[in-house]
Chains A and B, each alone.
Chain A
Amino acid sequence: AQKVTQAQTEISVVEKEDVTLDCVYETRDTTYYLFWYKQPPSGELVFLIRRNSFDEQNEISGRYSWNFQKSTSSFNFTITASQVVDSAVYFCALSEGVTGGGNKLTFGTGTQLKVEL
C-alpha cells in the first residue's frame, strides 16, 4: 500500500528565512508520481509540481526548489527567502502508475507553514 509521511505538523519562520518541508513516501511500484500542493487559508488546493519516479533531477522554480531522492524515498520542498504569502498548508502526494488505473492521489497529513514578519 502507498503511504506519504509529512512528519512536520507546523513550522514557523520569520520572513526571508529559508524553510524545507519534508516528505517521505512508501510504494511498491517502480513507476509512480510525486506531487506537492499548496492549500492557502481560502481552502483551494493549488498544484505546485509533479515528478515521476524516473526523473531524479532536482527542480527550481523561482523561490521554490524540490529535492527528489529515491535512495531515501524522499521528496523535500524548499522555499527560499520565505514571504508572508507563503503561509499555507503544504501537502505532498503520491500516485502509483497503474496501467489503466485512475492515478488516485494519496496525500500526507500536511505541514502548516506560518511565515511571520
Chain B
Amino acid sequence: DTGVSQNPRHKITKRGQNVTFRCDPISEHNRLYWYRQTLGQGPEFLTYFQNEAQLEKSRLLSDRFSAERPKGSFSTLEIQRTEQGDSAMYLCASSHRGEYNEQFFGPGTRLTVL
C-alpha cells in the first residue's frame, strides 16, 4: 500500500531559476492538494484538484506559480523566477471525495532558494 510520494525531496536553486515538483497521490484518491509550510508555521493551502480540474487557488499562489494535474493522476507544481521568499517545504496531500475527507500527506519537497 503506497502512500503519497513527492519528488524531489530536496531542491536547492538560485534566485531567478524555475523549479518543478511532482506529486503522486494515493491511486484511488481523486482529490489532490498542495500546501506550503515555512519554519515554525502550519501548512498553508495553495491549491487543489478534483480529478484533472483545478477548482481552487489561494491568494498565496502568485502568477509565478502554476499547478497541473493532467489526466487526474500525478500533479506538478512549477515556480517560475524563484525568489528567496519561496524557500519552504511544499507538501502534497490526497483524499477521497466525500464526507470522510481526511487528507494523507506526502513527505514534502524542501525548496531552498539562494
Contact = CB atoms under 8 A, between A and B. Distances in A.
A111 to B, nearest CB: 10
Contacts of B93: 45
Contacts of B45: 104-106
B85 interface: no
A101 B56 contact: yes
A105 B94 CA distance: 12
Contact of A107 (B42, B89, B108): B42
A43 B93 CA distance: 14
A16 to B, nearest CB: 28
Nearest to A100: B55
Give chain B's interface secondary structure class.
strand
Interface in A39-87: 42-47, 50, 52
A95 B100 CA distance: 11
Interface in B20-52: 31, 33, 35, 40-45, 48, 50
Contacts of A43: 89, 107-108
B103 A105 contact: yes
Interface of B: 31, 33, 35, 40-45, 48, 50, 55-56, 89, 91, 93, 95, 99-108
28 contacts: A35-B102, A37-B105, A43-B89, A43-B108, A44-B105, A45-B93, A45-B105, A46-B105, A47-B102, A47-B103, A50-B101, A52-B99, A91-B43, A93-B42, A102-B33, A102-B48, A102-B50, A102-B56, A103-B95, A103-B101, A104-B45, A104-B48, A106-B45, A107-B43, A107-B44, A108-B42, A109-B41, A110-B41
